[in-house]
Amino acid sequence: MSKKAYDAKAIEVLSGLEPVKKRPGMYTDTTCPNHLIQEVLDNSVDEALAGYCKRIKVNLYKNGSIEVADNGRGMPVDIHPDHQLSGVELILCKLHAGAKFSGEDYGFSGGLHGVGVSVVNALSAELNVIIKRDAKEYAIGFRDGEKVQELKEVGKVGTQNSGTAVTFLPDQQYFESLKVDKKRLKHLLKAKAVLCPGLQIDYFDEKKSERIKWIFDEGLRDYVEEFSGCSQLLLDETFIFSKDGEGQGIDVGINWTDETSKDLLKETYVNLIPTALGGSHLNGFKAGLLDSIREFCDYRNLLPKGIKINSEDILVNCVFVISSKLQNPQFAGQTKERLDSKDHTSFVSAAVKDSMSIWLNQHTEEGEKIADLAIRAAQKRAKSTVKVDRKKTFKGPALPGKLSDCNSDDIEQSELFLVEGDSAGGSAKQARERKFQAIMPLRGKILNTWDLESSDILKSQEIKDLTTAIGVTPGDDNISKLRYGKICILADADSDGLHIATLLCALFLRHFKSLVTAGRIFVAMPPLFRIDAAKEVYYALDEKEKDNIVKNIRKTNTKVKIDIQRFKGLGEMNPSQLRETVMKPQSRRLIQLTLNASENTNSMFDLLLSKKRAPDRKAWLEKKGNLAEV
């Protein structure tokens, strides 16, 4: 145990680039320097996206240093009026310094946080920059992230000659290996050239004396067909389509094959940055593709009885490239491997559904071949699923009749939703994914079980049915017979719904604490409002989130008509709305019920729910009641 006193002197404030050096893994991939190259490259590509750059060079030198040069506008060299430093020094030495926050200098860009290239400087033993702009050439140098050469003019250039060249030597102490993954780098460079038509990218490997040049005017189709990962594509001509909207756009290339392989091309990009973990654009692509192909199958009566295709059935034989462009993309982290811009999902879904539906109806023969692939995949999936009714395999008391069980026996996959009311339960049954989601409607407010013994609560038929459904006995620490990996409380977003959710939380905390500590209990967060602005749809949990959404819409479009619908309850939501906001793992909001060791949770629940604490509760309400939000 540390004997050092914990006082104000113990608090450290990291300045400059120290946070990056202390925790490099928070800012980049420390396996190898590839991500550092990508950070510098993305700045050059942003210049190309903005229309200022036509050529980028990436050079790997024998001494391990790497150069990325472009013919864009060149980093700013004038002095910043507030910080009294040159623009280039601010960019390279200050975290969160950049020109991409407002969106005024760059329409679409990959650099968003003002962090990337300063991370490169922090983790490089040496970094030098040459800047050409305003008919002059400038140079500045850094060692270990610190400036060692002042910015100075070193020559004259032509008035049309501009750009930036960054040369850096990654520092061994921050990386597992300094060896660049050249295969991955070349694939990335080619993809950048394909996705940015007219941009020339030159690659030079000094050690191997290897030179490659990529430039494509219309390259997405060729790229999909060349890198499909299969020997034969289903469509003679890869389907390519684009869609632009306000502040966002999408380009997609898509084809199919009879082959199934993990090497099939399935790539997603945002502002030309590869998103290996997918995210919002991939989710929208899946949803739009599924809707269009299901609609095509239904219209032409192609589906065999009892077969329902899902997005994975369609994608298993699919090769595709998705290239999204967003003015203000939200990524999951600095490495930008997953897009988290929720609003983009609906844009992509609508664009894919509309474009694919038109194409399918114009190419019915090819459409039927695609449908046949998906149907075969669905049939194969159905055969691999154990075809038994979980209710019949349950050993013990008969499961309650109102439980709509799921098909999967995999506890880690299955989910049980405890839904307030039969009306909402009916919508939830239509919205669920039958394979792994079960629904059990509850009749209004359950019994307040806080003051009761576990043996007494089974006198309530509602709680007895719930207990039978989950397979765990109240008060028993043994949860080996638990039937669902997630138990999700789903109640209305109003005060009555919150009361019901509180009673259920108390039930689990008091009588099924082992489920809480095992992380099995969740509370679903259904929206209270739906906001329609032109063709865009948003959902808000409460008044504050609704006001923020409306405010953000007004920032970008002051004339758009905004319609706001307040849901009176879950039963008022149709199945598709319930699926998107509550049931679908990719877009729903679930809060895990956990115990905070620093707070006395039992004491608070006792104050709120115990009949013996009525006087204390009254005093507490008199003292704290003014804090309630009306």
Which residues belong to the active site? 420, 492, 494, 496
Amino acid in the structure at residue 3: K
Q: What is the DSSP secondary-structure string of 296-357?
A: HHHHTT-SPTT----HHHHHTTEEEEEEEEESS--BSSTT--SB--HHHHHHHHHHHHHHHH
* End-to-end Cα spacing for the chain: 47
CB distance 445 to 500 below 8 Å: yes
Q: What is the DSSP secondary-structure string of 176-234?
A: S-----HHHHHHHHHHHHHHSTT-EEEEEETTTTEEEEE--SS-HHHHHHHSSSSS--S
Q: For residue 444, count other CB atoms closer than 10 A to its CB.
A: 9
The distance between the two most distant Cα atoms of the chain, rounded to a whole number of Å, is 90
Task: Give whole-number Cα distances, 459 to 455, 456, 467, 578, 610, in Å.
Answer: 8, 6, 12, 33, 19
CB distance 419 to 440 below 8 Å: yes
CB distance 56 to 201 below 8 Å: yes
Indicate the helix (H) or strand (E) that contains 519. none
- Which pair of structure tokens corresponds to residue 308? 């329902």
Contacting residues for 225 by C-beta, under 8 A, at least 6 apart: 233, 238, 255
In terms of Cα–Cα distance, which of 460, 422, 458 is closest to 440?
Answer: 422
Q: What phi-psi label fits residue 559: left (phi over 0), alpha (psi between -120 and 50 degrees) or beta? A: alpha
